């Protein structure tokens, strides 16, 4: 049997149930419980990662090998090492069960071969999730309490400040302290933005032309400038600032509005979630008076917010989105086909144009432009054909044939069986010829046949992998057919963007050579 173990620890440690100890105990259990049956033992692990989700490199490798049929049994030291989320655990267990992989958890002594064992497994997983959520809630409550008191919660401080240790009521905390040089630079950015009434994009261009860079030596990006110019920590915590955030629907601290007297800066918590790039709704923000000193006046900061808001542009699409936008490529040079617009008799025609031809002319690529409507209709005609007869999808798909691989596996397994029989026969002959001159010859033959058998085994594993891949592709193709039918049956109810999104999902390759459209799903 081919065994695997998975170990995880949220924080690095050499003690207690460290990853190494988990692997050692699982290996000892396998050697004792399945003595003589352990063909291989492969460890997988993730150190310093939470069990709250499945985004773990070691776990992903394990599940990929399970999917490829390389594992017969999985042993974990404790159930929550695999996952602390019931839904994730159920999905993982379904994958194991679907591939016939035996699952063993040492600490809970779970036997999944019985209904009671399976029930106990999910009950244990539920308690693991409850424990994780309770700990997470305590951490959030603690951080929220510290934020409402105006402390800095850790991480890199905003540019213009440094972090410093403070002691309050005998407890050590972290607060922000002004960095004199950096704060002057931030003030200059605010003044430049307001004096020139720039948009963020205009300011990025102006700074680039003047050769002005960030402290790290890179040019400013529009997103960096926007983040700096909207950073609330710099601003005086005045009643006007209180009204600004209260008007946005933020959660204001329990201190009265009158205590916002401008002597301290603003502290904000909950602006971003676990992904720092995604801004949360204003209702999630907790705004309070900070422990730190501000260096941007409330008037300046509010003026910057007003100008930022004034320069937000309308992102509504001016033209319809063609069906093959972002999907179609030039068959001759491989470049993407861009969308071009051309006014003809008072109307605007959309065309697919080769990007290389746009930049280099006919010398770069001679693929001519084509009306978007013409190619889009060709694709819709193909989809209508698939809607009427789903079997026609095979004309536009290239998948490996599972039947061929199945036949090849049977042939190879029969060949392996013959080799084993021959090796057994030679082994018997060797026992009879022990000590004779023929023994060396027989040993050489056995070694040669063993090498042949190893080669056949590798070919069988490769064929099985190709068989599984073919089966996966067939399932994926069935899902694509389902999406195509759904799109065609509700064609008029989908927006241009939604139709284009479906095309991006189902089309693997789409090219135009100036004469012919090629489509592969």
Distance (Å, rounded) from C-alpha 384 to C-alpha 378?
10
Contacts of 286 (CB under 8 A, 6+ apart): 144, 147, 148, 250, 251, 253, 268, 269, 270
pLDDT of 14: 45
- What residues of the chain score a pLDDT lower than 70? 11-17, 110-150, 153-154, 273-278, 311-319, 398-407, 465-475
Total Cβ atoms within 10 A of residue 237: 28
pLDDT of 295: 95
Total Cβ atoms within 10 A of residue 501: 14
Q: DSSP letter string over 146-189?
A: HHHTT---SSSPPTTEEEEEEEETTEEEEEEEE-HHHHHHHHHH
**328-330 and 509-512 beta bridge pairing:** parallel
Contacts of 23 (CB under 8 A, 6+ apart): 5, 7, 43, 45
- Closest by Cα among 62, 111, 109 to 83: 62
Going from the C-alpha of 60 to that of each of 48, 208, 364, 501, the distances in angstroms are 15, 42, 43, 27
3-class state of residue 311 by DSSP: coil
Q: Would you give the end-to-end CA distance of the chain in angstroms?
A: 39
3-class state of residue 9 by DSSP: strand
pLDDT of 15: 46
The number of C-alpha atoms within 13 Å of 291 and in the hemisphere containing its C-beta is 19
* Tens-digit pLDDT profile for residues 382-437: 999 988 898 888 888 765 545 555 667 788 888 888 888 888 888 878 777 777 77
- Closest by Cα among 187, 160, 185, 161 to 174: 161
**102-105 and 110-111 beta bridge pairing:** antiparallel
Distance (Å, rounded) from C-alpha 43 to C-alpha 497?
45
pTM for the model:
0.42
Calculate ∠ Cα 280-286-289, nearest 5°. 140
Going from the C-alpha of 448 to that of each of 412, 430, 434, 443, 460, the distances in angstroms are 17, 14, 19, 9, 19
Give the residue carrying structure tokens 């267990």.
93
pLDDT of 483: 84
pLDDT of 184: 94
Distance (Å, rounded) from C-alpha 379 to C-alpha 521?
11
Give the residue carrying structure tokens 């207690």.
16
Contacts of 470 (CB under 8 A, 6+ apart): 399, 400, 401, 402, 405
pLDDT of 298: 95
pLDDT of 132: 56
Distance (Å, rounded) from C-alpha 291 to C-alpha 168?
11
């Amino acid at each position: 049997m081919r065994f695997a173990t998975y170990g995880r620890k949220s924080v690095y440690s050499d003690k207690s149930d460290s990853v190494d100890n988990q692997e050692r105990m699982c290996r000892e259990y396998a050697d004792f419980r399945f003595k003589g049956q352990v063909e291989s033992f492969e460890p997988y692990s993730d150190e310093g990662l939470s069990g709250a989700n499945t985004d773990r490199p070691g776990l992903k490798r394990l599940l990929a090998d399970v999917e490829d049929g390389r594992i017969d049994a999985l042993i974990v030291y404790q159930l929550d090492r695999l996952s602390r989320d019931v839904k994730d655990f159920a999905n993982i267990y379904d994958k194991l069960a679907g591939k016939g992989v035996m699952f063993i958890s040492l600490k809970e002594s779970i036997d999944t071969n019985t209904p009671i064992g399976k029930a106990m497994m999910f009950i244990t997983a539920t308690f693991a999730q409850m424990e994780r959520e309770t700990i997470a809630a305590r951490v959030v409550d603690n951080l929220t309490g510290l934020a409402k008191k105006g402390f800095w919660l850790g991480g890199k401080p905003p540019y213009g400040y440094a972090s410093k240790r403070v002691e309050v009521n005998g407890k050590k905390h972290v607060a922000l302290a002004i960095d004199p040089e950096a704060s002057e630079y931030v003030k200059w950015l605010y003044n430049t933005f307001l004096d020139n009434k720039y948009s963020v994009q205009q300011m990025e261009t102006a700074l680039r032309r003047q050769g002005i860079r960030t402290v790290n030596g890179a040019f400013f990006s529009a997103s960096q400038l926007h983040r700096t110019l909207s950073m609330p920590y710099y601003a005086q915590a005045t009643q006007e600032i209180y009204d600004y955030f209260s008007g946005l629907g933020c959660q204001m601290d329990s201190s009265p509005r009158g205590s916002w007297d401008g002597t301290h800066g603003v502290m904000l918590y909950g602006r971003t979630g676990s992904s720092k790039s995604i801004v949360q709704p204003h209702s999630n923000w907790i705004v309070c008076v900070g422990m730190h000193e501000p260096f941007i006046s409330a008037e300046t900061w509010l003026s910057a917010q007003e100008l930022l808001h004034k320069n937000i542009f309308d992102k509504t699409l001016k033209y319809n989105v063609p069906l093959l936008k972002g999907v179609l490529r030039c068959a001759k040079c491989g470049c993407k086909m861009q969308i071009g617009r051309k006014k003809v008799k008072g109307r605007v025609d959309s065309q697919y144009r080769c990007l290389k031809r746009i930049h280099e002319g006919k010398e770069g690529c001679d693929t001519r432009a084509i009306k978007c409507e013409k190619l889009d209709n060709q694709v819709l005609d193909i989809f209508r054909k698939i809607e009427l007869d789903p079997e026609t999808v095979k004309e536009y798909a290239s998948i490996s044939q599972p039947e061929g691989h199945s036949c090849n596996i049977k042939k190879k397994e029969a060949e392996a069986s013959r080799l084993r029989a021959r090796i057994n026969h030679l082994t018997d002959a060797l026992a009879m010829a022990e000590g004779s001159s023929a023994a060396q010859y027989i040993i050489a033959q056995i070694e040669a046949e063993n090498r042949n058998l190893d080669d056949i085994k590798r070919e069988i594993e490769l064929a099985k992998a190709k068989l599984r891949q073919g089966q996966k592709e067939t399932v994926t193709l069935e899902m694509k057919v389902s999406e195509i039918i759904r799109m065609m049956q509700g064609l008029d109810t989908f927006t241009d963007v939604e139709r284009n999104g479906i095309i991006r999902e189902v089309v693997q390759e789409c090219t135009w050579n100036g004469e012919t459209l090629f489509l592969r799903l």
